Amino acid sequence: MRILLTNDDGIHAEGLAALEQIAAALSDDVWVAAPEFEQSGASRALTLSQPLRVRRMGEKRFAVDGTPTDCVLLAVQELIEGAKPDLVLSGVNRGQNLAEDVTLSGTVAGAIEGMALGIPAIALSQALFLFRDEVKANFETAVAHAPSIIRRLLETGWASDVVINLNFPSVTPDAVKGIEVTRQGFRDQFMRHVEKRTDLRGRDYYWMGFRAQPSKPSDGTDLRAVYDERISITPLHIDLTHDKTLSALKAAFAAEPPPIPSTGAPR
C-alpha cells in the first residue's frame, strides 16, 4: 500500500513525526508532502496568486510553501513517482478537529483533497483542551491506537465521497475508554474571538483565536466522545446542501415565481 502523508502544522511538526510512525506500521511505501510553514485554519485554500516552490527534504519527503490542499495536489500530480497513493493520511494535528471546526481545518482539508482525487483519506487529530490548561498533546495515544483503527477502516471501506475524521482524546494510550463512531457535533456557543492589541509604535493590531471554554455537546457527537475520553470516528461528507430548506424553497418558487425585472431594452 502506497501512503501519502500531509498536515497543516508544517513539515517539522511533532504530529507529522507521529503520523510517520503510524504509517510505518501500515506500509513501507510512505511519501510525505507537507507545508513548509504552519497552515492551521487554512481549510481548503488553494494557492492561485503566486507560484509554489517545493523543497526536497529527503527520499519521498517534500516541503511545499503552500497549503495542505496544495501539498496533496502537487504530490499526486507531480511529486510522487509511479502509481498514485492508495491512501492519504493527514495529521496528526496538534489539537482536536471537532464539530464546526472541521470546516476551518487544514488537516481535514488535506484529507478532502485526497478524496477529491479519488483516494481514500483519513484526517487524524490529537485533542488538546485549553480549558483544561493542557499545553502538550499526547501524540503517543494516536500512535498507539491509529494503526489498528485504520486497518479496520480499510477492511470495512467507506463511500468514495466521504473522508474519515479521527480524533484521539487527551489522555495516555492506556486511559482511552473506547472507540465511538460519531456524527459531527456543534458547540452551544461561538468559540472564535478577535483580540485587539497595540504595538510599541501605538498602532493597533489583532490576534484571532479560540475561547478556552467547554461546551455541552449531545451524546453521539464527536465532541461528546472526545470529552468522555473515547476515540471519535466521524464520516464527513462535503455536500453542504440543507435538504429541508431546499424542498421548502422549491415549493415557494414553484408556487409563485418572482417577477423578472425589465431591462428597458426595446423589443
Residue 137 has pLDDT above 80, yes or no: yes
Q: Is 226 helix (H, G, I), strand (E, B) or coil?
A: helix
Residue 54 pLDDT grade (very low, low, confident, very high; cuts 50, 70, 90): very high
Q: Please give the average per-residue pLDDT across 80-96, as a whole number.
A: 97
pLDDT of 188 reads 74
CATH of residue 7: 3.40.1210.10
**Structural domain harbouring 8:** 2-186+216-255
Report, as an integer, the average pLDDT of 75-79: 98
Return the pLDDT at 266.
Answer: 58
Could you report the per-residue pLDDT of 177-200, keeping only the tens digit for each? Answer: 999 999 999 887 767 779 999 999
Name the average pLDDT for the chain.
Answer: 93
- The answer to whether residue 195 is domain-embedded is no
pTM: 0.91
For residue 237, tell me if it sits in a domain. yes
Q: How many helices (H) and strands (E) does the chain have?
A: 6, 11
How far apart (Å, rounded) are the C-alpha atoms in residues 114 and 93? 17
How many separate domains does the chain show?
Answer: 1
pLDDT at 251: 92
Q: What are the distances in angstroms from CA 120 to CA 30, 107, 252? A: 15, 15, 39
Domain membership of residue 264 (yes or no) is: no
How do residues 38-53 score in pLDDT, each as one tens digit?
999 999 999 999 999 9
User: What residue numbers does the annotated binding site for a divalent metal cation cover?
Assistant: 8-9, 40, 93
Residue 11 included in any domain: yes
- CB neighbour list of residue 112: distance below 8 Å, 6 or more residues apart: 44, 69, 121, 163, 238
- Residues belonging to the binding site are 8-9, 40, 93
On whether residue 203 sits in a domain, the answer given is no
- Which residues neighbour 17 within 8 Å (Cβ) at sequence distance 6 or greater? 139
